[in-house]
Amino acid sequence: MTAVRCIDLCKTYRQGEEDIKALDHVSIDIESGDIVCLSAPSGGGKTTLLNSIGGLDRPDSGEIYIAGQRIDTLSKSGLAELRLNHIGFVFQAYNLIPVLTASENIEFVMQVQGRSRGERRDKSEEILAEVGLAGMGDRRPAEMSGGQQQRVAVARAIVSRPTLVLADEPTANLDSKTSDELMELFIRLNETHGSTFVIATHDQRVMGYARRLVKMLDGRIVDDIDQQAA
Amino acid sequence: MPIEVRLAWRNLWRQPKRTLLTTGAMVFSNVLLVFMISLQVGMYGLMIENGLKVFTGHLQVQAPGYIDDAKMRLVVPDAVALAGKLRDVDGISAAARGSTFALASSEDRTYGMAVMGVEPDHEPDVSSLPGLIGAGRYLDAADAAEIVIGKRLARNLKVDVGDELTLLGSGLDGSFAATVVTIAGLFETGIPDIDRGIGALPIGHFQDVFYMGDAAHMIVAVAPSLEAVPAAVAAVESQLPADGELVVHDWDALVPELRQSINADLGGALFMYGVLVVLVAFSVLNTQLMSVLERTREFGIVMALGLKPGRLGRLVLLEAALMGLIGVFAGAFLGGLLTLYFSVNGFTYPGLEEMAAQFNLPGRLHPEVTLLSLFAGPLVVFAFTLLATAYPAFRLRRLKPVEAMRAA
């Protein structure tokens, strides 16, 4: 089953006097349960593609489907619903809410979803244990290391069992050991929950974990490698 | 406690100094509002009480039409007896009073004056004028040929206590009325119109001179308090004959200018309060705008997680509401304590006591703590706090997650 389908996406930014083509007729299908890496040098278009798939940004033209539903025509509110219930995000800078504890950060999404207090607490404890942070739920982000914060961010992204997890440079601020641990966590969660992972990165180590590697340059897909077959 | 409330509360204390300053401004303005409004309520009560105490009373029984055109023939029949009957009503003081105009002549001069016929025994219960005798004494017999007049009138007529005055006027039947009365005392209210234009005779003599029979022009009555006036009006009405020959007017109808002057004063005060509230609202606007601007990136993140802009706006409103609630309760509490202290001990300023003593009035103001004076001001500040936050909250609706997350 196709989790993500992008058809002929174009997106141009104006930078000073210059038009930058962030997406140049990009088409891609991503199968459910896959782990795909989007790799490109800075400005290559990987973050724009990731944001477009996540409904954070709109392409100038083209169509995007998530689990068969066209999303590029959805309203702001419709996109928010989609992100809340179907997509989990992991950002480069962790982006946890600083005044909330780890548990509260995880529960926050579930609260917005309208889950009960008991369910939120149970799931939060369960997912913290799953990402290796059992007993650290009452710590605030400032009291945790970068790797721990990123694990909380991953826990937050997957706690409501999204069909799609989008990660933008998730290891950029982590050392190599922590990066490996995070990628192993991604693999484990992918196997356990069946979520599709799309990871934008230019980290070679991260690319090594992906089943599929999509290389981009100047807003275009220049290579698409099935790493399992290779 | 829901996470949103926890989040709002903790967000407030990210910048504790800023929050404390803004909340402090709210609390200060609320304390000021509670005290000022309470003082005003107390002062208006005093203004009304003292304004009515001199002459008018809380209510009057009159013949229909007398209030608009005080004609001699519009009388209250058997007035002294009716006043006695009204005094039997629990809590009500009442006295009959006649009123007309006459020319007052001394040996040297003649002046026009208003002449009242009063019940010497009961007039002190409905009027402060008997207590303002500065020379001589007040009237003490119901039918003696004596008079008390204002000091200014005495000066104008060049008379003093013990001198005689000749009064010339018209009787109830239109005939010529005249009498010679001895000046028993001189009063000084400090109100020029009263001090130079009014005199009071015992009602028995008044009725004889002006051919009133047993009639007078009004029964002046006083209730235990201003709040008791509506009930007193109903009680007095129930004692009147049902033929509609007599009507009851409360003080609001008798002295509409009193209410007008209070309204004018209130208008000025409301303007001042408005300025204070707007200043606080701008302080809140500044705080919330800063707070929203510096959290743009964070707002982008929570939008990316699926929070809708409307809900984000509600979060910012919730933060302001929490701050506003602290302001309301701390302001009402501290303002209430301050006001309570002064309501017990009174409040004065240099010169007030001397001025008030001159008018036979209490020299200390007592602010009146009521639910209205406690919460009216703070709740308006609270409403303006939310209003001031509406703009920063509305700005969030236009926020785009990707651009917001790029913010520093």
Which residue in chain A has the smallest CA separation from B295? A97
pLDDT recorded at residue A37: 94
Condensed to tens digits (0 to 9), the pLDDT of residues B107-121 reads 889 999 999 999 999
> Does B304 sit within 8 Å of A54, measured CB to CB?
yes
What whole-number distance in Å separates Cα of residue A84 and Cα of residue B129? 79
> Is residue B360 predicted with pLDDT exceeding 70?
no
Per the prediction, chain B carries an average pLDDT of: 88
Rg (CA), chain B: 31
Q: For chain A, say whether B338 makes contact (Cβ under 8 Å).
A: no
Asked if pLDDT for residue A78 goes beyond 60, the answer is: yes
Whether the per-residue pLDDT at A72 is higher than 60: the answer is yes
Separation of alpha carbons B125 and B94, rounded Å: 7
Band (pLDDT 50/70/90 cuts) for residue B268 is confident
Q: Do A111 and B10 touch (CB under 8 A)?
A: no
Q: Is the pLDDT of residue A227 over 90?
A: no
Candidates B138, B162, B128, B145; CA nearest to B46 is B128
Q: What residues of A are in contact with residue B303 (Cβ under 8 Å)?
A: 80
Across B8-27, average pLDDT: 88
Six-digit token pair at A184?
């192993």
Separation of alpha carbons B365 and B379, rounded Å: 25
* B84 against A174, higher pLDDT: B84
Contact B7 A108 (CB under 8 A): yes
pLDDT band (50, 70, 90) for residue B359: low
pLDDT tens for each residue of A26-48: 999 999 999 999 999 888 889 99
Name the residue facing B306 among A95, A97, A112 (closest C-beta): A112
| A35 φ/ψ angles, rounded to the nearest 5 degrees | -120, 110
38-77 of A, contacting B, C-beta below 8 A: 51, 54, 56-57, 76-77
Output the average pLDDT for chain A: 89
Band of the pLDDT at B357, cuts 50, 70, 90? Answer: low
Which pLDDT belongs to residue B355? 65
Nearby residues of B251 by Cβ (< 8 Å), 6 or more positions away: B48, B52, B56, B57, B58, B59, B229, B258
| Phi, psi (rounded to 5 degrees) for B112 | -85, 145
Among all residues of chain A, which has the CA nearest to that of B307?
Answer: A80
d(CA A215, CA A227): 12
**pTM given for the model:** 0.69
**Two structure tokens written together for A213:** 């590697």
Q: Name the nearest CA neighbour of B373 among B266, B281, B297.
A: B266
| pLDDT surpassing 70 at residue B174 | yes
**pLDDT of res. B62:** 94
Q: Specify the residue for token string 């002459």.
A: B55
Which CATH architecture fits A35-58+75-226? Answer: 3-Layer(aba) Sandwich (3.40)
Residue B408's pLDDT is 61
With a cut of 90, say whether residue B330 has pLDDT above it.
yes
Closest-CA distance of chain A to residue B4, Å: 8
pLDDT range class, residue B367, cuts 50, 70, 90: confident
A98 three-class SS: coil
For A90-123, the pLDDT digits (tens) are: 888 888 888 899 999 999 888 888 889 899 999 9
Residues from chain A that touch B2, judged by Cβ atoms under 8 A, are 111
Taking alpha carbons only, the member of A27, A14, A84 closest to residue B306 is: A84
User: Domain locations in chain A?
Assistant: 35-58+75-226
B290: pLDDT confidence band, cut at 50, 70 and 90?
A: confident
Q: What is the DSSP letter of B72?
A: T
Summarize pLDDT for B123-136 with one digit per residue, the tens.
Answer: 999 998 898 899 99
pLDDT higher than 90, residue A63: yes
The burial of B123, by beta-carbon neighbours within 10 Å (0-12 exposed, 13-18 middle, 19 or more buried), is given as buried
Contact A88, A166 (CB under 8 A): yes
| pLDDT at residue B59 in the model | 94
- Give the tens place of pLDDT for each residue, B214-238: 999 999 999 988 888 999 999 999 9
- Residue count of chain B, please give it: 408
Residue B358 has pLDDT above 60, yes or no: no
Residues 300-329 of B with CB under 8 A from A: 301-309, 311
**Which residue type, as a one-letter code, is found at position A199?**
I
A171 interface with B at CB cutoff 8 Å: no
Sheet holding A18-31, edge to edge: A18-31, A2-15, A61-66, A69-70
Of residues A76, A107, A108, nearest to B309 (C-beta): A76
Through-space distance between the first and last CA atoms of chain B, rounded to whole angstroms: 31
Q: How far is A212 from chain B (nearest CA, A)?
A: 25
State pLDDT tens for residues A129-163: 888 888 899 999 999 998 899 889 988 988 888 88
Question: Residue B191 pLDDT > 90, yes or no?
Answer: no
If you ran DSSP here, which 8-state letter would residue B174 be given?
Answer: S
